[in-house]
Structure 1
Amino acid sequence: MEEGGKADNLATVSSDLTEKSAAIDPRLTECPVCLDQLRHPKSLPCLHTFCEECLDIYITQKPDTLTNSFPCPICRLETVPVDPKEERGNWAKQFPTNNLIVEMSKMCSRESQVYECDPCKKRNVRNIAAKVWWKEYNRFLCDACLDKLRDVIDDDHTLVEVTSGQKFLSSTSPTCTYCPKHKKETDLYCEDHQSVCCSTCIAVAHRRCEVVTTLSEHGDKVRSSTQIQDMRSELQEVAVNMESLAKHIKRQTQNLGDGRDVVMEQMTDLRQRFETHLNKLQEDITDELDTTYKEEKKKLDDMLNKCERMYMGIKTTQALSESDVIQDDDMQMVSFLHRGCLEIRSCKNIMPQVVQALTSVEISLDYEDALFMDDATPILGRLHITRTRRGFLFKQLCHAEAKEVGKLCIKTASDQKRCQVTGLLYLSNGHIILADGGNNKVKLFQENGELLDELPLQGQPWDLCMVAKNTVAVTMQSKQLISKIRMKSSKLKLYRNADIKTGKPCHGITYTDGQYVLTAALASEIYCLTKDDLALHKLTSYPYYLANDSISNDVIGSVYTSTVDDTAVFRLSPDGVITEITKVGLLKGGNGVDVDGEGNVYVCGRISNNVVQISRDGTVRELVNSEDLQQPYTLSIYGSKLVLSNAASDTSNHITIYELF
């Protein structure tokens, strides 16, 4: 046979083997989102079609606002899925498939389809275009592979030339494959390796295998056995199990969705009931607040009117006392003197009565902060009214005297060491809260000495200051942080996760204008914690304690020093300027400091063993100085009451209360 003879039987593609497709505009099968050919096309009710994947991404990326629809990406028509209760990620699958687009895509793909050479693909050589189709074995061959297989192709075999736009139908003839390595027909079967081989493969790679038969013998063996039937039975069993598993997963998904819907409905109902309760609570508290305010204001207005009438009468009498007519007329002078004496006597009688009836009324909303409290049942809200009767001084405090009215033992049954009270607060309701650095506790007492509560701390507390109505800040100088304590119903609780790190030692503390001002005593520094920075003020001695002047909003500080002409008490203005209030003299070793409502300053002299009072005009006088006063440590004042602690070992377990008069 002449060379190339077996390849001369190239035939023209017949009508039963090829199929021409109509010319279709490819843009009709493009997705308007990704601009690629539509994959799994899904049609919306507005008849716009998108890839299922593109539509799913578009839906799931829309903000989830609990709606049951979405706008069409093209015409913006509001579109409702088949089952809105399904998750948004499943909405795209619910829309119908556009079969017309599917068929059009197939026709377009056939028009541009390029067939690759099968032998080259098996050798992992891709994109080699086929030139002929070998009908009997349904194989596409390139020119190179056609030349290699000329000896295999019989004269009666059909080779069809591949042209664009053809559809090649698979042959019904028995298929035969060729070994890609040895280019021989694979007609043998190795049962040891369960693989189809050619004769060269058997001779080289399977020569030690025990059972090697022809492919047809193995086929007869399989047909005569129950392997196919067994496989079908197992396939059926696996299919049933897989179907059951899929149904179970679907039920679980449905149950999950139903559970979510139930919880959402419960949350909506809970929110409505909670809002109803809050509205009722607000209405009740508002009514009680208005009633209390009107009652207390009426009492105060009556007292005020009585005082103002008497004040105006006194001022009139004062003015008349300077009149020349009274000085010249004996009768009028005697009558006026009698009138003035009656007014003085009347005022002296009425003032104690007014003071006795006068109470300090404080109104606050009592509620539980669920973010920081551990109570299982938080208090939603109730009106808390505190009425406190306080003494009143009828003369300026710079001329007042102090009288001891009580001494409280602050050592409790659980204390292991001697008490060391380094921080004191006299509260408006008559309670006294103190920092016991000797036993690492904060304690709460009544004025009569009854222990209300004590809070153990993980470290040594030093000083205290009020931050809010029921919130106290305490410095933990060894740990370099500030802890916050909540006073609730005569109980002390530590705020969780609310510690503030100071970054340096902290002793004295006060809270003013929304920020903490502290002292690092041994470093002779005063600093304030702000949101952005750490502001410092350097002194020459040891500033231990601070207090806030509510009138000027200044910070008042004491300095522990006994050096003559050193600053003993200073004032720090809001703009950061430090001025001297008094020098070392009558006061030595300044410790605890506080400021009353009139701006008078009270300071403990730990070395001078006294308590001094400094008026706003700078007058310094000794307020407390007795033999029982040993190393006064710190103090706190409210109204006409002053509470004081001592550092001496034989008096440190007690605090003393003084009345100013």
Structure 2
Amino acid sequence: MAESCNFSSSVDAVPGRKKQTLCQPCLRKDLQTTADVFCSEYDEFQCNECSKAHTVYVFMQNHKLGNASEMQSKTASFDMKGMDNCEQHGKILEFFCEDENQLCCSTCAIMDHRKCHNVVEIQKIAGKLRSAGSQLKRKLEEVKSNAEMIVKHTESSKEQLSKDIKAIFVKIKRMRGDMNKMFDDLEVYVTRETDVFQAEVTNKLAKKRSSSEKHMTDATKSLEIVDTALQKGAPSQQFIVEETLKKQVNELCRDVDNECQQLQVATVSFRFDETLKFPPLSISACVPGKLTLKYTQPEAKKSVVPVDPIVKLTKITSIDLKQTGDDVKEPLYSGLDFLPDGRLVAVDNNNKKCLIYNEKLKKVGSYQISYHPQSVVAVSEEEVAITSGAQCKIDFLRVSKSNKITLIRTCKVKSKYESICLKDDIHFVIGTLDYTRPVCIVSISGAEKNFPVSFPNKKYLVGDSVCSYIRNTEKIILTDMHEHTVFIYDVATNTRVVVKDDKIEEPRGVAIGPSDCILVCIKGIHSIVQISQTGRIISSFKLDMVFPFRVCVSKDQSVLVVTNSCVGKRMLQLFKLT
């Protein structure tokens, strides 16, 4: 058996014989030397020769050395809890088969491993493989650490789940608070908007009532005169009364008829959006519904056919727009509007100027601007607003009675603007540039909002389109030069009329004339076309200028001014409206 198993025993397995403890450093050198001492620092048995290193090296001088036999007895006293017994034979495990990596007792070695070539005593190989214990220890510590981590993870997951559930109820409570705040803010918003609208309606109704009461008084007085003349007057007196009162009565009839056709009913309604958006959005940024404040005509009045009188133009004067000493280019008036007192305000896009003309088109004031102005609108008696196609802002200028122009303030906005006109006393209607909503509403403080109108998803560049607004009927007029089209949008009904005709070739500027008719500059055929609000072309007036560009009508609707864009032949012409 000794030959077949290649045993190299230094200790006979004879009962009563004391086992020897070998020097572990010598074993690593394949030497079998009896151990004399035990180094507790290295946990290692050593012979006297190997232990001399403790006297040679300074870092080993503090190591504690003990008697090997004593340490052997202490080691032997360790309770292995049956781990050193063979499960098959019940004997002490004394050998290790390196070929099959298996522990063996003496019976296993003889019976099961006789053909193996590397069956060695555990005592010999234990010294050589001393690091296995520390590696096993590391693995067990790692297993313990991972198990502890799993335990902590389960506790943490349990706590986090509880926190998440609590957070849901906190969020529900916060959302309830946000909703309550939203409705509180909504009440404030609706109160403010309806108060302003109610005050406006009340003021209009008071004016209309006062006017009608005056008409009643005038009619009563005239009736008394007519009745008296018919009852007591001679035929000649009756004739004189009739002829004298005819003009007055006609004017009275016309005024009352106009009032009848313009009777309106103010309505207020609120419709919630299907999807509510909660704060932190402010109520002004996102109203959770649509507040509608509008005027409507009674059904009985809707059947009245509107009268569209033909507007006639009679030229009063004309001036050539030439480059002067301080101009860098030939003037190009991209914006025109009349002040209430009849003075004309023009903005020169090429030379960055704002200019004032009197009723005879004599230049009486000028102001240098730092940017290229795009359009202008008179805001009050002595105030105008100017847009810029390159900058997101509106400048407000004061135009004094002495024609001195000063900058009052600048209002920053979100978009670039082309045309501008008044919607009411505190809002503008704006034609936008490079934006999918071609027309929007802007307050005098710069707050933007959209019309409830379905505009086509189209962007306009400078010169492609301008807009205007008819207050009485809530209609938006939008020109499209490249499409040769004029669009008339009805804000109240969200409908539109598309005006296309041979007379509509490259429409440019637009203005609102007498009886709220629409006057459009037509570049292609050098004319001004009059269009009704229903889209019917009423008349076309041929101009003696090439490429008419911008047009505006005075506040009393008595005169019209138009300018053109033809290079080398630019002019400004004033017409009487009848």
- The higher radius of gyration belongs to 2
The normalised TM-score by structure 2 is 0.44
The normalised TM-score by structure 1 is 0.39
